Amino acid sequence: MPKYRLSYGRKKTFDSDDIMGVLDQMGIKSGKSESKWLKDNAMDVCNYAYKPIRFGTKEEFVEDLVKLKLLEEISQ
């Protein structure tokens, strides 16, 4: 199973079947609607990284985390 590192706030290393597992690590199942969760977290990441991040879909959000080097695969 691949291992990933999320370097946003505290660095967090986690195992997941695919890179989309980062959403569970960030708390997407927190009770908010998906669109509200994505928007709120995009604003937080934007404030942290001083870069824009898309929140139209989960895939765009995760893609931008990778692009900003806040999320990376560290082993297979």
Alpha helices in 1-76 (DSSP H): 22-26, 34-49, 58-67
Contact in structure between 15 and 1 (CB atoms under 8 Å):
yes
**4 has which bridge partners?**
14, 73
pTM for the whole structure: 0.91
pLDDT tens-place string over residues 22-73: 999 998 877 789 999 999 999 999 999 999 999 999 999 999 999 999 999 9
Q: What whole-number distance in Å separates Cα of residue 28 and Cα of residue 35?
A: 10
